[in-house]
Structures are given as C-alpha cells and as structure tokens.
Amino acid sequence: MILEKVKNTIEKHSMLKKGDKVIIALSGGPDSVCLMDVLSRLKDEYGIRLYAAHLNHQIRGIEAQKDAMFCMKRCEEEGIMCFIKAYDVPAYSREKGLSIEEGARELRYGMFFELQKKLSADKIAVAHNLDDQAETLIMRMMRGTGLEGLKGMEYSRRDGIIRPLLDVTRAEIEAYISQRGLSFRLDSTNLEDIYTRNKIRLRLIPYMDDNFNVDMKKALSRMGSLLSDDAEYINSCAKTEFDRVCSMEGEVRIDTDALTALHNAISSRVVRMAIGAILGDIKGVQQVHIEYVIELARGGKEGSRIDISRGLMAIKENGRIVIKKNQAPDSNAEKMSFHYDLESEGSVRIEEIGVRVQTKIIDKGDSLHIERDRHTAYFDFDKVKGKLSITSRMEGDRIRPIGLGGTKKLKDLFIDLKIEREKRDYIPVLRDENGVMWVMGYRLSEAYRVDAHTKRLLKVTFTEL
C-alpha cells in the first residue's frame, strides 16, 4: 500500500526522472529506514541511482555511534554507498547561539548540499511524513504565520529536496517496517515531552483525534495543499504586478501610485519581491518592514527614508519608492547592527553585544510565581504574532510601554531614559512580526501583557556571556 502511495506522490509532483542520482537522508530511525527500503524497491522502475548520508550529531554519546554503525551496515546490505560525517552539534550550537535542533538541522542540510555538489546528485530525499506535516502546520499556526507558512512543507523544492513519504502516516510506516521485518534505531529524545514539536506529537494531536470526529493529520495536510495552490496563484499575480510597477537598475524603483492602488495582499508581496531581488532572499525581513515601506509610499513626504533590514533602505523620491543598499556616510560605517531569529523555546547567542537570550513556554497555573527583573520578562504567548527575533534598534521603531497609554518612538524612549547615544545600538530589542515587544532591560510593550485571560506565557531571559 505504501509503495503505491509513494509512487502516486512521485508521479503527481514529478519528483524523479530517469537517471537521477538521489541522496537519501538516513538517520536510522523508522521513517528514513522505510524511505530507503521503498526507494530501493522502486529504483529499477524509475532508473535512479541511490546514495545515503548520515550525520552523527554526537548528542547521545555511544548511542549516536551505534546509529552511525547501523546506517553503514544497512546500506551495505542494500548495496548503497553510504557517507557518514561526525560533527559536535552541541558545541556548534553553542558557538552559533542556536538551539540543538536548529544547529543539527543546519549541519545536516549543509552536509547534504555539500555531498550533492560532490556527487552531482539531482535530488535529496528526506523522510518527512504526513504526521510531520501536521505538526509543522500546527507549530506555524501557533506562531501566527501567514499564507506562505500555512502551505506546509513542500513536496519538491528547487534545491533538489524531495519528500516522497509526505502522504504516508507514521502508523503506516510502522506497519510497513513491521511487515518487511526491517530493523531501525530509536532516538529517545523524540519521546521526551519537553520540546514544542514533541508536545504537539505526543499530547495535542492525540487529544484532537480522540475528542473530535475528524482525522486531523489528513485535514491539516489537505488544508496545506489547498493553501499552497492559493499562494502559488497569488504569488504569480504579484510577480505580474512586480514586473509592471518596478524597474531594476542595481536598485529597485517602485511607482508609488501603482503600488498603493494594489490590494494589500499583492502590494506586500511586491515589496517582498523587491527586497528579495536585491538581497537574494528575504531572511530577517519582517512584516513590519513591509508595512513601513507601504506606509512610506502612501503618506511619506518626498525625500523621506527608512531603514529596512540587512543594510537596505527605502527612500521616496520623484513619485517612486527606491529600495537599495544603504550607502551610509563613513561616520556611520561602524554603527552596530545585528539580527537573530529566535525560537519560542530555545536560545541564541548574540556575539556582537555579548549576550545570550533564552526562551521557554510555560503553562500558566494558579500557583505559578512570576519573578521579574531587568533580565527576565514574561509575555502572553498567544498574543505573539509570527516569528520572534532579537535585533538592534531600527529606524521608525515604536513601542507601547506598559502604563503609558500610547506609543513612543524608541529614539524618544532612549532620550527619556537618558541612555547615551553611543550605547543605544547595543541594546537588544525583542520583536515579533507586529513590532517591538521588549526593549530588553528597560521597557515592555502593553500589547503582550500577561492578564487574567493568559493561558500560556513566553518567558524570555537574557544573560551576559
């Protein structure tokens, strides 16, 4: 049954073609063992050549060594060339200020893409399944993601990543490996109810399945597929408008009248495309940056400018918004600037200012004692929208300080607090996609205040390195 499902997925999403070299991401767990067995049985039918890659994360000591040995032996039995690399993920994560999960993923995919280049491989097959898709979608919904995030994981990506098992449930995988008599390794950390994904997997989805007459995994996957079609169509419309209202000459010039006449869903995408055209991607660019640019187009005075992110600026001149790299005068060349994405549960190390920031989600109980100081703050997690980040201050930043009753520019706040000008860029700012949550060590935003209706708290702590 799985074979037919996988074949349908491969055909529907044009994952493979004859002669493809395919690298299998092999962890040794049941999902990846199932993936390798299925592709081994299908390789002659599709005319593909298989390789396998395993990263020893060095997280679980001797158990990690056994995982690597298992993968090597399994590949020998299948006649598949196996590549194994060991990396101290905990050390790497500490050095980069990442959570263990983020560090492991970064190194794992780095290995895959490095191997892809060396082998001139066409595809990298990863073992994400239907349950993984459901968990990912729930996590993104909890963060308040937009349409792009609700698409879920893609079946095929432009960089060669494919997910042949994405229509297969974890229960079907377990039944398959049992029927085939396949051995596998188990990572005990997947059973620990301490990570957000594990909580969703072990507690939330089973509760939903038990208490509602619906298959949540399939429903979420179906939603993701439908929204993916919608997003693809809207993005194609936005690309048409981008080509119409923008011009490229080392910088992007957007006609302000044409931009502001567009629907918000299109205009915001046009601005994102403009930024992506200069930077190559839009990592670190938040919705608030997009809104600043659109506000500048709608009501900004000629000559007005804003800083966006990653050294970009937008300036209004001659009826156009010009987005380009900030050619700051030499006196500002050494201005402190940093940007780090932050998971809702994890930590990040900010080398520029010598600070580590840690986050944790806590269920609010009657007996919960909240200790506040300048290094620790609590927020209503359900009021947080989108992805968290820690940055230096940005042009146009505002905050609604608790108890003030209105908003205040960060520049004015620093003046009121008598913070020296040269120190202001070293103060970390916690923000979500809606704006500033905490000028860390100084002021909290009213918009995220913990109240009687709060169910989950986001605890954020920063310490000096």
Q: Which residues contact 133 (CB under 8 A, 6 or more apart)?
A: 152, 153, 166, 217, 220, 221, 224
Of the listed ranges 206-215, 218-227, 324-333, the one predicted with least confidence: 324-333
**Residue entry with tokens 């073609």:** 17
User: The CATH number of 2-222 is which of 3.50.50.60, 3.40.30.10, 3.40.50.620, 2.60.40.10?
Assistant: 3.40.50.620
- Report domain extents, the chain: 2-222, 249-327, 339-464
Measured distance CA(364)–CA(456) in Å, rounded = 5
Q: Which residues contact 118 (CB under 8 A, 6 or more apart)?
A: none
Q: Kindly provide the b/e burial profile for residues 147-173, where b requires at least 16 CB atoms within 10 angstroms of the residue's own CB.
A: eebbbbbebbeeebbbbbbbbbbbebb
Q: How confident is the model at residue 281 (pLDDT cuts 50, 70, 90)?
A: confident
Q: Distance between the two ends of the chain, CA-based, in angstroms? A: 54
Does 27 show up as a binding residue in the annotation?
A: yes
CATH topology of domain 339-464: Phenylalanyl-tRNA Synthetase; Chain B, domain 3 (3.50.40)
The predicted pLDDT at position 374 comes to 81
Does 307 show up as a binding residue in the annotation?
A: no
Residue 375 has pLDDT above 90, yes or no: no
CATH 3.30.465.60 fits domain 249-327: yes
> Are 49 and 78 within 8 A, CB to CB?
no
Does 303 show up as a binding residue in the annotation?
A: no
Average pLDDT of the residues of the chain: 87
pLDDT in tens, 119-174: 999 999 999 999 999 998 998 888 777 888 888 899 999 899 999 999 999 999 99
> Are 3 and 145 within 8 A, CB to CB?
no
pLDDT in tens, 38-89: 999 999 999 999 999 999 988 777 888 899 999 999 999 999 999 999 988 8
Residue 329 has pLDDT above 80, yes or no: no
The side-by-side arrangement of strands in the sheet containing 456-464 is 346-350, 355-363, 456-464, 376-380
Residue 179 has pLDDT above 90, yes or no: yes
The predicted pLDDT at position 412 comes to 86
Does 110 show up as a binding residue in the annotation?
A: no
Q: How confident is the model at residue 193 (pLDDT cuts 50, 70, 90)?
A: low
Measured distance CA(93)–CA(80) in Å, rounded = 31
Does 304 show up as a binding residue in the annotation?
A: no
Q: What separation in angstroms does the CA of 145 have from each of 149, 218, 287, 385?
A: 5, 20, 10, 7
Does 354 show up as a binding residue in the annotation?
A: no
Q: What separation in angstroms does the CA of 348 have from each of 94, 98, 116, 148, 388?
A: 8, 5, 29, 25, 11
2-222 and 249-327 in the same fold: no
